[in-house]
Structure formats: C-alpha cells, structure tokens
Structure 1
Amino acid sequence: MNEKHALRDRASWKGFMVASFAILLVISIVFSIRFGSVKIPFLEIWSTFSGNLESEFQNIIWNIRIPRTIVAILAGANLAVAGVLLQGIMKNPLADPSIIGVSSGAGLAGMIILILYPHLPHLLTPVAFIGATIVAFIVYALAWEKGIAPPTRIILAGVAVSAFLGSGISALMVFYSDRVQGTIDFMVGGLSARSWPEVEVILPYSILGILLAIIGIRRMNLLMLGDRTARSLGARVEWIRFTMTAVATLLAASAVSVVGLLGFVGLIVPHTARLIVGNDYRVLLPASIFLGAAILPASDTIARIMFAPIELPVGVIMGGIRSAILSIFIEEENGMTILRTASISHFFSDKQVLKQMDLELREGQIYSIIGPNGSGKSTLLHILSRQLKPSQGNVYWKEADLYRLSPKKAAQELALLAQVNDSMDLTVEQLIAYGRTPHKSMFKRIDEQDQILIEEAISLTKLDLLRKRNLSQLSGGERQRAWIALNLAQQPKLLFLDEPTTYLDISHQLEVLEVVAQLKRNQKVTIVMVLHDLNHAAAYSDEVIVVKKGGCIYGQGAPEKIMNQKMFKEVFGVEADIYKDGHDETLRIVMKPLKN
C-alpha cells in the first residue's frame, strides 16, 4: 500500500467520525422536537413538516419546539467552536470560554438587567453580549506586554478578572436578595421560553463567527506547530491569537447572552472531539460543531422529560454530565503513571553510579534528564529503557516488573534511540520497516497494516522525499530523523532518546527537537531524553529530571520550578541569569562562572 492509500485510510476514519457526529445531531433534533411535557407522535411531526394536514400539535412544534431546538443547536455549536479555538490559542486542552472572562462578563451584565432593570427584559441579550465582549478585551489588554500577549498571561488575567466580576455578582445577589429568584434561569443556564426572537438574535452571530473560524482553520493549524515554527513560516502569531480570540469571544458571548451561563460545552466537547479525530482543525472544527450542536438539544430534552411536567434548567443537566466526565478525566489523570522506579541503585564494579533513585513518568509528557558529565544520566536512561538492570531496586511498567516482560513485549512498549548508530547500506524506507520487527513472527512479511504505520512514521518525521535515499546520503539531522522514524514504526508507548542532538549543528538540533515536540502533541508518545543543552531542555520539556554528581536525583518537575539559580550553583557549579522569552514564555538561561 502506498502513502496515498494510507493517508486515505486515516482520512476515511476521521470522515466517518464527523459523519457520525452529524447523524447524532439529526437524532438529537428529532428527539428534541418529539419529547417534552407533551409527547408528540412521529406521524404528527411528519404531517406538520410535510403540510399534508392540520395537526393539533402544529403550534407547539412551530412556535415552541423548533425555535427552542434551533437556539440549542446554535448555542451548542457556538460554545463548542469558541472552546476549540481557545484550547488551540491557549495551548491548554481544558481551556473554555470562561477562561477569558466571557461568562463572568455576560453574567454580571445580565444580572444588572435582571435585578436592577427587570422591566427591561429586552435589553438582557444585547447588554450581556456587550459585557462579555468588553471583559474579553480588558483581559487581553491586561495580558499585553511588549507587543505580545502570551497564553499564560491571558489565562492569569482571565482568572483574575473573572474572580473580580464574580464578587460583583455575589454583591448584587446579597443586596437584592428579594429579586434573585428571577435570575436563576440565566445564572444556571436554560432554554425555557426561548423562541423565534432569540433565534433572530443568535443566528447572525453564529453564521459570522463560524465562517470566520472556518477561514481561520489554516492559521489555527499553524499555531499547533508551535510559535517558533509558525513564525518561521511567516505567520503573525500574535495577530492570529488576537483575531481568533475575538472570534471565540463573539461566539461565546452570543451564546451566553441568549441561554445564560452554560458550562461544559465549550470545555468537554472540543476536548472529546480532539481525542477522537486529532488536532487537525480541518477535521476538528466540523467535528466540534456537530458534537456541540447535538449535545445541547439532547441535554435540554432530558431536562424537559426527567421530572415532567416540571422542567429543569438545562444547566443542571449539563452540570451533572460535566461532573461525570471530569471525574473520568481525573481518574485517567491519576492513572497516567506508566513507568516508575523504586529506590534503584547501580554499581559498575565497586563504583556506585546511581543512588536510591525514585522517579515517576506519566503518559504523554516529555522528560529531559540533565546533569553534569559523569553524573549517571545515560546509565539511568539505559536502566529505564531496560538495557541495564539496576543492581538494587526495581523498575515498574504500569505496575508490572519491567524485567519480567519478554523481549518482544518490551520492544512493543519501549523504544530506544542510541547515542551512536552504525551506518547501514539501507534506504530510509527499508530502515523504518525494521521497526515492525517486534510485531511480526519470524516468517511473517510486512502486511498492509504494517505499511500504513511505516507511512505514518515517514510522514510524521517529514521524510517523504527522502524515503528512497540511502542512509549514507543523508545529513546528520536527516539521519537522526530516520532513526526516530524507525522507533515510531515500533508504535511504542515510551520513547527513549540518548543525547539525540549530539554531533548535530544548531539547525539540525532544532529540527530533531521539533519532531520530538510534534510526536508528543500528535501521537501522545511519552519521551525521555538525555540532553546537554539546558536551554533546549527548558524549551522542549514538560519536566526535567536533574541528576547531580554521585548519581543522586536533585529534583524532578517543570523547568520553571526546578531550573533556578540555586540548582545551577549546586548541580553545575555555575551562576545563571534566568528569564522568560518575551514571545513564548519559555525559560532562557545565560550561564557564567561562579564568582570567587
């Protein structure tokens, strides 16, 4: 099977899932129209739409059920698209519209109308929309510094502003407690009494916002490559971030102003769609639209029939679903440890090189092992990757003894890129095909499924044009990418890289590290690498593992927490000036000798 066939196969799966979400939307619409305090037979619904006869349910269908369903569809789609944009902009899979203050801004503005001016209900939607929009721009202004607004600053500004506005909402509820009853539907989020006027309010914003999101698909995909790569391709990263935030604000504010403070949709829907169809916004955006548009009317239907004829606000149902799904995510997060060590020590002859090391590696993270020469970094990597067995202690793979795995099973789970690889008289494609060895019996040849995985490894490492070239004809960076592709063809859960940038020039070092970052983002592979360049470790790692002389762990954690002046002095014997890059908030380190 050639590469086009493999790509077509993956695209077919994603297309199937998007189509499934669309079918789910159709089912949700039908059930939303049929069920409620009054159950309408399918024949009556068909008769109403076909116009064949007068139905006693026509008024309910046309003036209550249909507009309410349309509002639910548009609000669900708007919140889902706002969430999927913000998760890409903030580089945070759990970001949602509330993170930029939209919910709090709309909430406070809406509460002012409902409590102070209850005789002007027609102002609720426009005022809530204006409040949400103003707050979003305030958040962006607070985050702006030296010509940029990094995601971390936007999130912090959003949290601060949301907390302040939340206090304002609480103050209104305290001072006007006798009027709070009329605000419950808005505060919880509901679709009760939503009809054609609300459709007219939200529809133009939905059309405009979703069209702008579709136009921005290519720009969002550029952001997913990372700020550095996006800038190198000519993208104006800050402008993309600003305009897409404005689109998300437009969509979220219009939804909140009509249905109230609904959570869940903007958080869980895009997060779920991303897990199913991946990060490509060409597929992720329509998947999120259909799924968000299906979830809200379905939840509203449940809210109407659960205690019929009493109708619950849809926000109550959404809150229950959100709690259940977040509990699942928390359980998954708690169970993400895939490799841990228990007091491992190691000796070479009489020399102890590792002492009582306890580590924990979690799924989908990049770890860099750093430390001075002779501290035992490579020895630790070889023990973790099952190339060495520790003299004392043990290593556990998903709570099973790592060394009790068969060599074949271990090779299916773990892959190692050695520091030095022998030159072989093979083409790139032939080398990568060897990565399927752990999954084949002695006499079994490469089959169609193997070829799909080989093509995927070639595509991920950007070796398409080099596949027929001999390894000896490649540059250092290209050759290193070919060996990484070999490891990827193994389909490991955990990839170990022993000094992958050694002997490479600067451009090829960054080339390899960008591939590593993309593997983590797109393939969810856990990566452990030994690095000497501390700036690279800070820029590309989720956590660093610092090993000091004598083979002891100095610390493990996020670079900004571990890599401080005290660590550099005690571990490396140098002084360091540490600051954050003004473009992407990564640490930058300038080292100098200790002062006498």
Structure 2
Amino acid sequence: MVRLVSKDLNVLYDKQSIIHNINIEIPDKKITTIIGPNGCGKSTLLKSLTRIINHESGVVLLDGESIHKQNTKALAKKMAILPQTADHSGGLTVQELVSYGRFPYQKGFGRLNKRDHEVINWALKATKTEAFKYRPVDALSGGQRQRVWIAMALAQETDIIFLDEPTTYLDMAHQLEILELLQELNQSEERTIVMVLHDLNQAARFADHIIALKDGEIIKSGDSHSVINSEVIKKVFNIDAQIITEPISNKPICLTYNLIKGEN
C-alpha cells in the first residue's frame, strides 16, 4: 500500500534547480531511507514532501490529495517531521516540549485535556524518557534529547514520521539507540518512517526501502540489496566499495571502499 507519492517533482532553491522531476512512492508502514552525497538534495526532498518548502512544479499527494490543498492542522495529524537542527528547546522541560506535539488537536486557548496528557505520557514511555519528564531538555545528553524530540513527534499521533539525519552528532551507541527505537515504532506501532541517513550500513540494516539520490535525481530505489551494491555506490558516491552480505541480518554491508580518482 502507498499513501504518499510525488509526481514530476521539481524544487528550486535560490533560483537554482535542486530536485529534478522526481517520482517516488513511499511504502506505507515501512522504513524508507534517503541516501546520497552532501548537497544532492536529500533534505530538500524531505522538506518538499512535508510542505516545509514549496516546489516549482509537480505534485506531492497524500491519500490521493495534494498536500498543498490540505488543511494545515489536518495534515499535521497525518505527518510529523523532526528537522536536522531540532536542538532549540528554549529552556522547556521535557514534558512541555513533548506537549507541543498536541498542537494540531488544540482548540480555543489550547489547554491540554485528559486525552492530551494520556498521549504525552504514552510518548514519553514509548521513547523511554518518562524519567526526564520534569527536567530541562537542555540538561540532557544528545541521545536523550533526540529521544525527547521523537517523543514530541509521536505525540502528534501521525501515521508518518519524517526525520532529517536523526543520528547526526551522536556516538555509535546513541545512533543505534535511536535507530532501534524507530525500528521498534515501525514494527509495534506500524508507523511509516522516512529518514535521511549518511551511514550506508545503517541504511541497509534498518531500511525496508532505500532511495539513492545524486544531483537531485534518483539513481536507484528499492530494497537494500537493490541499492547497496558496488555498481550503485559507484554511481552515487564515486567510490569503489566492497559489499558483502552480513550473515546475521542477511543485509548488505560496505566492508571497505576507496575513492575513484579522476572520475566525477
């Protein structure tokens, strides 16, 4: 099943074409990862799929309707986005920050009702951040803060969650912690996860569907074996990679690689 698609999507940034005629289908209730070199348009694509930025032409459809024609609060009940620079909490406590996820459901003066508190507490429990409930977000470690931001996205009660490089600046243990949390949410809550990742092995391990971008165009999309192979990696990153199959997960991993010099 597919709920979110783009058709002939073109996006400009500072009058420069960034995304070129992209047609994608995001598998429902799966984890989709977008990979590609710096500046290839990964974050731009993510933002255009969530209506953060406008596109020049083409269309993004959610449930058969253009996202630009949907009511803002109604759309916010369907999709949540965690941007790459989600680190400005303004002195808020964990509970206060997570409560912002209830904005699409607020009426009048925006007072939290019983249902709101139930969802907030559930989101804290699901992300294992309930122990930090009354602590300032700024006082938490990087991994803890990232889990709190994910809790805020969960509090929106959306079927689709977008994350732009959720593991950036985290050490290896915290990266795995975040990715395993997202995998658990996908499997237990059937949330559709769409995220940008830099690490190819993490993408191969955790994604059901991978989209490889270069210069604003899709080079290849499909499952990990279709995308994480030496031919595609050469086209996308200009590197000669040795890919093997990891015996436990049966997923491809990049064992080693070298830059291909003298080629673009």
What TM-score, normalized to structure 1? 0.43
Q: Give the drift of 1:349.
A: 3.5
For 1:441, the equivalent position in structure 2 comes to 107
Rounded to whole Å, the distance in 1 between the matches of 2:209 and 2:225 is: 9
What residue identity is the alignment partner of 1:449? R
Provide the aligned length of Structure 1 versus Structure 2.
Answer: 260
Greater relative CO (CA pairs within 8 A, separation 6+): 2
The 8 Å contact of residues 386 and 402 in structure 1, kept in 2 or not, is answered as: yes
Aligned to 1:344: 9
Larger Rg: 1
Q: Is the 8 A contact 2:32 2:207 kept in 1?
A: yes
The structure whose residues are more often strand, as a share, is: 2
Distance in 1 of aligned mates of 2:93 and 2:14:
41
The 3 A distance-change label for structure 1 pair 425 and 365 is: same
Deviation at 1:348, TM superposition (A): 2.1
Aligned to 1:575: 240
Q: Quote the residue 1:385 is aligned against.
A: 50
Give CA deviations for 1:409-431 in whole Å, capped at 9, x if unaligned: 11111111011121321111111
**CA-CA distance at 1:385 after TM superposition:** 1.1
Q: In the alignment, what sits opposite 1:327?
A: none
Unaligned runs of 5+ in 1: 1-335
Deviation sequence 1:95-134 (CA, Å, 0-9, x none): xxxxxxxxxxxxxxxxxxxxxxxxxxxxxxxxxxxxxxxx
Q: Does structure 1 residue 429 correspond to structure 2 residue 95?
A: yes
CA distance in 2, matches of 1:591, 1:404: 46
Matches within 5 A, 1:131-170: none
Structure 2, unaligned runs of 5 or more = none
SS class of match (2:85): coil
DSSP-derived class of the 2:170 partner: coil
1:354 paired to 2:19: yes
- 1:594 Cα deviation (Å)? 4.0
Determine if the alignment matches structure 1 residue 411 to structure 2 residue 76: yes
Q: Which residue of 2 aligns with 1:518?
A: 184
Query: With structure 2 as the length reference, what TM-score do the two structures score?
Result: 0.95
Q: How many Å apart are 1:595 and its aligned residue? A: 5.4
Aligned-residue sequence identity (percent) comes to: 37
Q: Give CA deviations for 1:351-410 in whole Å, capped at 9, x if unaligned.
A: 211111000012101111000111100000000111012101010011111101111111
8 Å CA contact retained: 1:574, 1:591: no
Q: 1:593 and 2:264 equivalent? A: no
Q: Matches of 1:468 and 1:527 in 2, distance apart? A: 28
Three-state SS of the structure 2 residue aligned to 1:359 is strand
Counterpart of 2:31 in structure 1 is 366
Name the amino acid aligned to 1:556. Answer: S
Please identify runs of 4+ aligned residues in structure 1 that moved more than 3 A: none
Q: Does 1:528 align with 2:194?
A: yes
> Is it true that 1:498 corresponds to 2:169 in the alignment?
no
Higher helix share: 1
RMSD: 1.3
Aligned equivalents of 2:108, 2:39: Cα separation in 1: 40
Q: 1:132-281 alignment to 2 at 5 Å?
A: none
Q: What letter is aligned with 2:43?
A: S
Q: Would you say the 8 A contact 2:103–2:110 is kept in 1?
A: no
Is contact 2:35-2:42 (8 Å) kept? Answer: yes
- What does residue 474 of structure 1 align with? 140
Contact kept? 1:365, 1:527, Cα under 8 Å: yes
Name the CA distance, whole Å, in 1 between partners of 2:237 and 2:207.
19
- Cα pair 1:347 1:391 within 8 Å, conserved: yes
Which residue does the alignment assign to 1:212? none
